[in-house]
Amino acid sequence: MGNSFISTCLSTRNPILFGRGTSKRVGEELQHMGVTKALVVFDKGVQAAGIVDKITKSIEDAGIAVVLYDNVQPDPPDWSCEEAAELGRREGVNGIVAVGGGSSLDTGKGAKVLLTNPPPISRYYLEHEDVVPDESKMHPIIVIPTTAGTGSEATPGGVITDTKEDKKRNVPCMSNLGIVDPELTVGLPPLVTATTAVDALCHSAEAYTSNKPNAINDLFNEKSVGLIGKYLPRVFDDPTDIEAREGVQLAATLGGLGLMGPFCHIPHEIGLIIGMLFHIPHGTACGMTLPEALEYIAPEIPERVRKVAELLGAEVPSDATPEEIGRIAFERTRWLYEKIGFPKLSGYATKDEILAAVPKIMDPYPFIHSPRPLTEDAVTAILEKAYAR
Ligand SMILES: [Fe+2]
């Protein structure tokens, strides 16, 4: 591992500062951006973990005033972005720091749009495409993930819940800097560690096996899957293993970079619907069908599924048939789930309730990025198998 994990800056549209202890530099980085008063966006769990105090100390030590918004919600709703932005406007802030899991980062991105563009946030949903927020007038945002999963620090937008239509929407918004400090993830509870890491695994494994792969994203995604295969079990052997935490954190950031272009497919498309219907956290909902999806697509792209299985630590015989490769990928992913205590679908709904969701899954999401087409029967079979775990 060694030097490759020393703090580095990637030149992407979302600059990222990665490395142990980098979160101490937030105040200094805000200074460089000319921020004099910052809105800090977080949820109460991050505050209880003592992380917010450390971040605000760094900001105040740099002579920058702080305004706190602590009402971030899971599956961040439209009204919360508007509430945070209204507070920021009232207080006259000229910058934002979002610290926490994906919900905090996405709320912060939504608030960034609304600090300098008229509300409501629904005006800017990508799905509407009629109003584009003026990026040039926006105040800067620094995003600081405290989980290793969503990769939101690397993606050019926020995912917001449209509470009127009960749908997830995308809002275009770049972060001006992502500060990714693996030390912030050391105290994460096992369930959060497991489900957020599986979200990262889904990003990279799905993008790698989508029907639009490319050579550059392959580099991010292969590295990301391999880091999870190597380090996630180690985190569960010793949660204080900082090198392993660092490996999983890097996997999450690379997964965010790797999904932009090829995009996710079966697990995320099913996960977004069942997550909304049964109030399943994002990483949990998406991870539910990853083993089954890998097995399902193996006949179409056996060599890519083989690579995923091998990067997760499986041995795949050189003469394995596509179906055998799918089976091995399925079993290896299930093994990982067992190792990390990944939740079961039966903990959230009955089998009948889950299967009743299939028409809704098929309706707005035609699985356009899947390498193998899916009928309603195929989705039903995937969910039945996932439910039996
Ligand atoms: Fe995700």
272-305 pLDDT, tens digit each: 999 999 999 999 999 999 999 999 999 999 999 9
Per-residue pLDDT at 121 exceeds 50: yes
Average pLDDT over residues 21-40: 97
Residue 12 — very low, low, confident or very high, per pLDDT cuts 50/70/90?
low
The pLDDT of residue 365 is 63
91 C-alpha to ligand 1 centroid (Å) = 33
44 C-alpha to ligand 1 centroid (Å) = 22
285 C-alpha to ligand 1 centroid (Å) = 9
304-360 pLDDT, tens digit each: 999 999 999 999 999 999 999 999 999 999 999 999 999 999 999 999 999 999 999
191 C-alpha to ligand 1 centroid (Å) = 16
Strand arrangement, sheet containing 96-100: 8-10, 16-18, 177-180, 141-145, 96-100, 37-41, 65-69
User: Does the domain formed by 187-387 have CATH 1.10.10.10?
Assistant: no
158-212 pLDDT, tens digit each: 999 999 988 889 999 989 999 999 999 998 999 999 999 999 999 999 999 999 9
Question: What distance in Å separates the CA atoms of residue 243 and residue 217, rounded to the nearest whole number?
Answer: 24
* DSSP one-letter string for 252-279: HHHHHHHHTTT---HHHHHHHHHHHHHT
36 C-alpha to ligand 1 centroid (Å) = 33
Domain with CATH 3.40.50.1970 in the chain: 2-184
The pLDDT of residue 129 is 66
Domain with CATH 1.20.1090.10 in the chain: 187-387
Average pLDDT over residues 5-32: 79
Question: What distance in Å separates the CA atoms of residue 165 and residue 238, rounded to the nearest whole number?
Answer: 43
What CATH architecture does domain 2-184 belong to?
3-Layer(aba) Sandwich (3.40)
Ligand 1 ion: residues within 5 Å (CB) = 199
Interacting residues of 35 by C-beta distance below 8 A, sequence separation 6+: 64, 94, 95, 139, 140
Q: Determine if the peptide bond prior to 118 is cis (ω within 30°).
A: no
269 C-alpha to ligand 1 centroid (Å) = 10
51-95 pLDDT, tens digit each: 999 999 999 999 999 999 999 999 899 999 999 999 999 999 999
Per-residue pLDDT at 1 exceeds 60: no
180 C-alpha to ligand 1 centroid (Å) = 17
268 C-alpha to ligand 1 centroid (Å) = 7
Average pLDDT over residues 118-141: 87
| pLDDT > 70 in the chain, percent | 96
259 C-alpha to ligand 1 centroid (Å) = 10
199 C-alpha to ligand 1 centroid (Å) = 5
